Amino acid sequence: MNKTVLFPNAGRRVELIERFRAAAKKSDIQLTIIGTDITTDAPALQFCDVTYIFPRERNETTVGKFSDLIEKHSIDIVVCTIDPDLEFFSKYRDQLSNVNGRKINLLLSDANVINASSDKRKTASFFENIDVRTPKVLDKPTTFPVFAKPNNGSGSFGAKLLKDESELETYLKEFGEHDPIFQQFISGTEYTIDCFVTDEGIAVASPRERVKVRGGEVTVSKTVALPELEAQAKEVLLSGGFYGPVTLQAIVDEKLGIGYFIEINARFGGGSILSIEAGLNSPNYILSGSPDWFKGLRRNLTMMRYDMSVFSEG
């Protein structure tokens, strides 16, 4: 069996590409990986079979470029790894999921999920609408502490705990132009839940603790057994519209043990390699559709990430 996978904006996702190669080898699949990026300096391009440099702009012209690329290489699957690509491929889903009669598997949740994931206020409303606990959004903080972050921010940019009115005023001077959102502060432990939803609507969730974070990206993480949080995550996933890789974030209240969901990322998270190693082998399912792709999770497995260099001449 032959499969061709496209990673638009491959960036730094070397480990994810390697996991797809490992899954292909295990299932005896001849895998070709096509990678694009806006710069030749993207490390992951060095691990792709065929690479292209695409413009940063995402518009009708770019749709044509991707459509031509999909047709030229008979691409079967598209794996988006950054939020702007989720929005782009969702917007042009009809054109890019069927190219000249060939159906392409875009690993995308429905538009309502992707829209909710790109806007913090919409994320909170999404959770509220399906009766899943989320920190209350405060229009104008009057009691403290509160948690603040830019409404459309990513990573740890602008995320800060504000303890009083003075800190609020300082925060607004620095981040006011970024349309900050203020939410009820939950004191507890933050967890990322790596998830996958199959074609058949089967949802799997793997919670892990964010032990150390650098620049918004996890550097040390550990899988944990939290049955109630897993059940809540599956409740979110089965509420409708979710498909493929999804990353949720939640905080478990340190006193009450109650989970509050705070983030949706409708794609592979930066630390999702840990859950793949622990048993959530979604690349296997994506490539082969094998019914035995998931056989349980390894708990208390710790991942420690480090930098590695790749070299290119020319």
Domain shared by 248 and 291, yes or no: yes
In a domain, 130, yes or no: no
Same-domain pairing of 205 and 176: no
- 249-267 residue pLDDT tens: 999 999 999 999 999 999 9
**Contact predicate 105/93, CB 8 Å:** no
Q: Is the peptide bond before 150 cis (omega within 30 degrees of 0)?
A: no
pLDDT digits (tens, 9 = 90+) for 30-72: 999 999 999 999 999 999 999 999 999 999 999 999 999 999 9
Q: Please give the structure tokens belonging to residue 60.
A: 């009708």
**pLDDT of 173-206, one tens digit each?**
999 999 999 999 999 999 999 999 999 999 999 9
Chain segment 75-121, per-residue pLDDT in tens: 999 999 999 999 999 999 999 999 999 999 999 999 999 999 999 99
Q: Are 176 and 195 in the same domain?
A: no
pLDDT at 314 over 90: no
Q: Provide the pLDDT confidence category of residue 217 given band limits of 50, 70 and 90.
A: confident
pLDDT of residue 154 exceeding 80? no
Residues 180 and 199 in one domain: no
How many angstroms separate the Cα of 156 from the Cα of each of 103, 195, 213?
37, 21, 9
pLDDT one-digit tens code per residue, 267-291: 999 999 999 999 999 999 999 999 8
Q: Are residues 224 and 254 in the same domain?
A: yes
Q: Say if 256 falls within a structural domain.
A: yes
Q: The domain that contains 80 carries what CATH number?
A: 3.40.50.20
pLDDT at residue 69, as a whole number? 98
Task: Indicate whether 218 and 154 sit together in one domain.
Answer: no
Angle among Cα 87, 90, 96 to the nearest 5 degrees reads: 125
Residues 32 and 67 in one domain: yes
- In this structure, the answer to whether residues 179 and 224 fall within a common structural domain is no
Residue 86 maps to a domain: yes
Quick one: 275 and 193 in the same domain?
yes
- pLDDT above 90: residue 15: yes
Boundary (domain end) residue, out of 184, 208, 223: 184
Tell me how many domains the chain contains. Answer: 3
Q: Is residue 261 in some structural domain? A: yes
Q: What band does 237 get if pLDDT is binned at 50, 70 and 90? A: very high
Give the whole-angstrom CA distance, residue 17 versus residue 20: 5
Q: Are residues 294 and 208 in the same domain?
A: yes
Structural domain span for residue 156: 136-184
Per-residue H/E/C for 235-249: HHHCCCCCCEEEEEE
Is 123 contained in some domain? no
126 lies in some domain? no
